[in-house]
């Protein structure tokens, strides 16, 4: 049997913060790419067209970095939304469970796991000779 999925909303929020910092680094790289250009003499007279040719490639790369930053920022927002959703679901489940079993009282009901169910079925009573 596989382990149950465990999600810690705080870990998701922390990861979203890491994504925001990554997006900020990409923004810095994009800004640097927008301001740094090769001069017309960078490759000498023989290769004077190189800065013009590389300028188009540079624009494409700078635009791509901007797109990546926006995508990472969007992902951070979606991860935060997921964390909020988990928190809300946990809070709602807690409210529902508190209605059944008020906080601070002993729990009369044991929730069965998959392993518990397997033990119960492994030790089932023998079939009766004359079922009713």
| Per-residue pLDDT tens digits of the chain, which is 132 residues long | 688 889 999 999 999 999 999 999 999 999 999 998 877 777 777 787 888 888 889 999 999 999 999 999 999 999 999 999 999 999 999 888 888 876 666 555 555 555 555 554 444 444 444 444
pLDDT, position 126: 44
pTM: 0.66
- Coil, strand, or helix at residue 115? helix
Domain borders along the chain are 8-86
Q: Which two tokens stand for residue 78?
A: 């979606």
Q: Backbone phi, then psi, for 119, in 5-degree steps?
A: -65, -40
Joined together, the tokens standing for residue 70 give 């926006």
Label each residue of 36-95 as H, E or C.
Answer: CCCCCCCCCCCCCCHHHHHHHHHHHHHHHHHHHHHHHHHHHHHHHHHHHHHHHHHHHHHH
């Amino acid at each position: 049997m596989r382990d149950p999925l465990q999600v810690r909303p705080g870990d998701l929020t922390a990861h979203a913060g890491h994504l925001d910092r990554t997006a900020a680094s990409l923004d810095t790289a994009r800004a640097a790419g927008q301001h740094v250009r090769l001069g017309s003499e960078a490759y000498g007279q023989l290769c004077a067209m190189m800065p013009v040719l590389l300028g188009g490639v540079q624009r494409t790369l700078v635009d791509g970095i901007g797109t990546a930053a926006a995508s990472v920022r969007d992902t951070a927002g979606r991860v935060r939304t997921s964390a909020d959703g988990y928190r809300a679901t946990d809070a709602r489940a807690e409210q529902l469970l508190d209605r059944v079993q008020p906080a601070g009282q002993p729990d009369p009901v044991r929730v069965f796991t998959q392993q518990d169910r397997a033990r119960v079925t492994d030790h089932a009573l023998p079939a009766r000779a004359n079922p009713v």
